[in-house]
Each structure stands twice: as C-alpha cells, then as structure tokens.
C-alpha cells in the first residue's frame, strides 16, 4: 500500500451556503470547512467523502449536478481510510455537527498530486437522498505536513438519486 496522510475534514453550517475561504499556507494537516444551507440541516444524515485522481481534468460543475456515482466508475476513486482503519472508495460519516455547526472528520488519503475531493451531503432516509455536494481541487498531498484545504460550499440541488457508492 502506498504512503498515506491524514486529511482532517472540518464541516460547518451557516444560515445559507456561503463561499469557502482561500487556502491557507500555515503548514497544518489538511482541513476542510464546508458550509451547509440551514434549510436542509434537519434532513442531513451523513457526509460521503470521495477522492478522485486527475483532478484538473475533471469539471466540478458537472460532478456536483447529481450523485457522484452517476459520473464516475467506482474503481476511479482512490481507496481512503478512516480513523478506525476502515478502507473504502467512499467513506461515510454520520452528521454530528456541534452547537457551533462544526464537525471534524479524519481521512487518510494516498500521497500524490492532482486530486479532486468530493463531499456529498446525504439525507437520513433509507436509501439516502443526495442533498448536494462540494467539489474541491487538491494539488498535492505530502507524507509530511499539508496546507489546509478550505472546501467550496455545498451546492444544493433538487435531484432524486441514491448516492450509494459501490465498494
């Protein structure tokens, strides 16, 4: 298995979807801050994280229109690992926002270059519904320290699709 590094995801809510801040150069582990529209907060059940190679060749606008699984084959996604050692091409994390609207998630991703990080907001229903997504270009993941990645806001769309990503 290739060397991996931790990607710390910080998820936050706001009254309306806002703009992500510019990337910082502080040299801390990768961090991600996502804005969620308060209107869907009661429906929010989980976040699904997927990382794709060849990031610059991908169009975020297209990837965000519907469930990611409608745009890419499962084997295109990188294998990720959560803090409990679970490996998958799409990791799901239950929504557990604190009172300030933040949530921290840890994801190990392979060291490399030119990735796109997709975070899908999923409903509580079974099967889950797609509530929207955030698409973020990630130039480099190093085996040492990484600059934080501040995520684009989650784009809310009215699309009926099951975001379940095959293993």
| Tens of pLDDT, residues 55-64 | 999 999 899 9
Dist. CA 65–CA 77, nearest whole Å: 18
H or E stretch including 147? Answer: none
Instruction: Record the pTM.
Output: 0.79
Dist. CA 109–CA 45, nearest whole Å: 23
The arithmetic mean of pLDDT across residues 113-126, rounded, is 92
- pLDDT class of 40 with cuts at 50, 70, 90: low
- pLDDT class of 21 with cuts at 50, 70, 90: very low
Residues forming a β-bridge with 81: 87, 108
ω before 127 within 30° of 0 (cis)? yes
Identify how many contiguous H helices and E strands the chain contains and give both numbers: 1, 10
Task: Looking at the structure, give the CATH architecture of the domain made up of residues 4-18+25-156.
Answer: Sandwich (2.60)
What tokens appear for 32 in the block?
Answer: 């991600």
Bigger pLDDT: 21 or 49? Answer: 49
CB 13 within 8 A of CB 153: no
- pLDDT class of 12 with cuts at 50, 70, 90: very low
What confidence score (pLDDT) does residue 70 get? 93
Chain CA centroid to CA 1, Å:
22
76-112 per-position pLDDT tens digit: 999 998 888 899 999 999 987 776 666 677 788 899 9
Q: Would you list the domain boundaries of the chain?
A: 4-18+25-156
Q: What is the dihedral of CA 74, 95, 98, 149, to 10 degrees?
A: 10
Give the three-class secondary structure for 39. helix
Whether the per-residue pLDDT at 41 is higher than 90: the answer is: no
What confidence score (pLDDT) does residue 106 get? 73
- Report the alpha-carbon angle 144-30-121, nearest 5: 145
The arrangement of strands across the sheet holding 4-12 comes to 30-34, 4-12, 102-110, 80-82, 87-88
What confidence score (pLDDT) does residue 54 get? 96
């Amino acid at each position: 298995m290739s060397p991996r590094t931790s990607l710390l995801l910080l998820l936050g809510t706001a009254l309306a979807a806002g703009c992500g801040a510019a990337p910082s150069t502080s040299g801390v582990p990768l961090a991600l801050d996502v804005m969620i529209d308060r209107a869907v907060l009661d429906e929010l059940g989980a976040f699904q994280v997927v990382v794709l190679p060849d990031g610059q060749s991908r169009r975020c606008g297209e990837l965000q229109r519907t469930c990611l699984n409608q745009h890419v084959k499962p084997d295109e996604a990188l294998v990720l690992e959560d803090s409990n050692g679970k490996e998958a091409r799409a990791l799901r994390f239950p929504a557990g926002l604190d009172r300030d609207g933040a949530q921290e998630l840890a994801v190990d991703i392979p060291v490399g270059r030119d990735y796109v990080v997709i975070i899908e907001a999923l409903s509580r229903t079974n099967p889950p519904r797609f509530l929207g997504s955030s698409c973020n270009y990630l130039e480099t993941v190093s085996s040492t320290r990484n600059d934080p990645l501040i995520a684009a806001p989650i784009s809310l769309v009215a699309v009926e699709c099951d975001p379940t990503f095959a293993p």
